[in-house]
Amino acid sequence: MAVGDSVLSSPLGPPACQKDAKALRFIEEMTRNADAVQERVLAEILSRNAETEFLRRYELGGATDRETFKSRLPMVTYEDLQPEIQRIANGDRSPILSAHPISEFLTSSGTSAGERKLMPTIQEELDRRQLLYSLLMPVMNLYVPGLDKGKGLYFLFVKSETRTPGGLLARPVLTSYYKSDHFKTRPYDPYMVYTSPNEAILCADSYQSMYTQMVCGLVERAQVLRLGAVFASGLLRAIRFLQLNWQQLAEDIRTGSLNPKVADLEIRDCIGRILKPDPALAELIVKECSHDNWEGIITRIWPNTKYLDVIVTGAMAQYIPTLDYYSGGLPLACTMYASSECYFGLNLNPMCKPSEVSYTIMPNMAYFEFLPHEPNSLELTRGSPPKLVDLADVEVGKEYELVITTYAGLCRYRVGDILRVTGFHNSAPQFHFVRRKNVLLSIDSDKTDEAELQKAVENASELLREFNTSVVEYTSYADTKTIPGHYVIYWELLIKDLADSPSGDALNKCCLAMEESMNSVYRQCRVADNSIGPLEIRVVKNGTFEELMDYAISRGASINQYKVPRCVSYKPIMELLDSRVVSSHFSPARPHWTPERRR
Ligand code: AMP
């Protein structure tokens, strides 16, 4: 455990081992020189991509400095790049966005025209992601000692992949990572030993994968020091899975043999080596799981758990109370902030309270700019070009939209995340994730915006025509009290002929019609991942939305400017709406979804 003096004196320390010392030194170096690193990153990106079709368009003339870049290049959205991306997807291998060959597409959970956005990536980005991953444990080890004395129970999954017409793979970034050699043949590291075997993580069948990961986590319950999933919703899905499958799991553990529903040969082969008859453990599982009260189940089954490793910032904050309930209030660690476009940074104080989480953007990952987010600012509404601020120049307390320029060829690309600066680590700012723009409803990785919800309501209300009925007002709510959570849509109806009002069956079908109208991420969560439950329509009494307006006005809203909120979560409003419900309806089937894109 020899540790260099220079590291001991760093604000991040002392490291747990020599390997950690190197990682912490790297973080210090990057964050101390944030501005210089950013300048170098931009110059590298601009010089290597100078001959791409995209950059040539802006006639940089070989310049790689910030001033020329900022004066010539506009900010872009995914939709602006859609034609270029489509050409790459169709097989055009010329250097359109990137001088390096596009190795695959990463499919984002953000959608465009109902389909996942396709993010072109290059081979070396895997190394950059790996580098960020390699910094997480050295930071965690500063706060939680002894993680090398046990294992992590992480529920990790691959999702389906497709090929674009031009033959490139299109799959989520984590699927790409788990299938890479970086993950599959990772060297042994005592601080990163997982209970889940690769065979289980890499099994495309989510039931078999989850079942096996749960069996392994149960068998090694005493060694488990931390439990995790990428997002909070994923860990809760695992708890729900245990609720539904504990009898079978206990039986398999009792007999030491995997039941035939897990048919994957590679899994069976590897579990054959792990699973031995353990009647005492089976009995314990039955005893704990057959209780009606599941409060604290995580620590009852995995008594040595020190923390839960899940992201609970942003939309996932809605799951904090449920996680607290099942874990008896274990610390929740949010370790990193990343996207399909680029991995951004990490939390240097991962054991802090969820409300205090700040992510430090690592200046080596991409070139970062920040668009001041001041919705009411006159300057912006008058149309004068917004001025982007550099990473080292953001101001504490202000909110910004993140804009990135990546090695893979995205230039001044608007990610759509709103961040607030909370402070600095050395000269690198730290950000609180405020929200993603234009997201109304989210349960898992789905993100439904106002326009999508509006379209879904319109499509579904077509079914009411034959009953001479229309939807006069609506709002929505992401109900996460049940697992999986589900969308609730409140409808106020105008029924012209009471003798012929819409049947319950017709309203159930409206639920399904709404689901069919949702974007592909929503439908995938419903169909393949089972991470969203059937959509519910609650029909409310006539006049309910007027009462909602009266309530808002009584609390100071201006009568002229009042707009019906299209999503609600404020408790008194929920209570008002729920007290006016006359009937509720659920989607009777799953919507259509296949891995293939609709366009
Ligand atoms: P995707 O492109 O599907 O990987 O989604 C990336 C998006 O997920 C980001 O742009 C954020 O909106 C959100 N996200 C990722 N990491 C975090 C985090 N730590 N906290 C809150 N939101 C996050």
Please indicate whether residue 158, judged by its CB atom, sits closer than 6 Å to ligand 1.
Answer: no
Q: What is the pLDDT of residue 598?
A: 72
- Convert 344-390 into a string of H (helix), E (strand) and C (coil): EEECCCCCCCHHHCCEEECCCCCEEEEEECCCCCHHHHCCCCCCCEE
Q: What is the pLDDT of residue 382?
A: 54
Q: Is the pLDDT of residue 232 over 70?
A: yes
What are the φ and ψ backbone dihedral angles of 159, each rounded to 5 degrees?
Answer: -115, 175
CA–CA separation, 415 vs 408, rounded Å?
A: 14
Q: What is the pLDDT of residue 381?
A: 47
The strand pair at 536-540 and 486-495 is best described as: parallel
Distance 336 CA to ligand 1 centre (A): 9
Which tens digit of pLDDT belongs to each residue from 55-75? 999 999 999 999 999 999 999
Arithmetic mean of pLDDT, 158-171: 96
Please indicate whether residue 109, judged by its CB atom, sits closer than 6 Å to ligand 1.
Answer: yes
At residue 2 the predicted structure's pLDDT band, cuts being 50, 70 and 90, is very low
- What is the length of the chain? 599
Q: Is the pLDDT of residue 447 over 50?
A: yes
CA–CA separation, 576 vs 105, rounded Å?
A: 46
Q: Is the pLDDT of residue 5 over 60?
A: no
Is residue 493 within 8 Å of 470, Cβ to Cβ? yes
Distance 42 CA to ligand 1 centre (A): 23
Please indicate whether residue 436, judged by its CB atom, sits closer than 6 Å to ligand 1.
Answer: yes
Q: What is the pLDDT of residue 13?
A: 83
Q: What is the mean pLDDT of the chain?
A: 95
Please indicate whether residue 338, judged by its CB atom, sits closer than 6 Å to ligand 1.
Answer: yes
Please indicate whether residue 313, judged by its CB atom, sits closer than 6 Å to ligand 1.
Answer: yes
CA–CA separation, 498 vs 125, rounded Å?
A: 61
Mutate to test the pocket of ligand 1, among 344, 359, 436 (most ligand atoms within 8 A of CB): 436
At residue 379 the predicted structure's pLDDT band, cuts being 50, 70 and 90, is very low
Quote the pTM value.
0.94
The strand pair at 224-231 and 307-311 is best described as: parallel
In the structure encoding, which two tokens stand for residue 187, read together?
A: 């060297």
Which tens digit of pLDDT belongs to each residue from 527-583? 999 999 999 999 999 999 999 999 999 999 888 889 999 999 999 999 999 999 999
Mutate to test the pocket of ligand 1, among 112, 119, 318, 417 (most ligand atoms within 8 A of CB): 417
Q: Is the pLDDT of residue 378 over 80?
A: no
CA–CA separation, 125 vs 103, rounded Å?
A: 10
Q: What is the pLDDT of residue 374?
A: 79
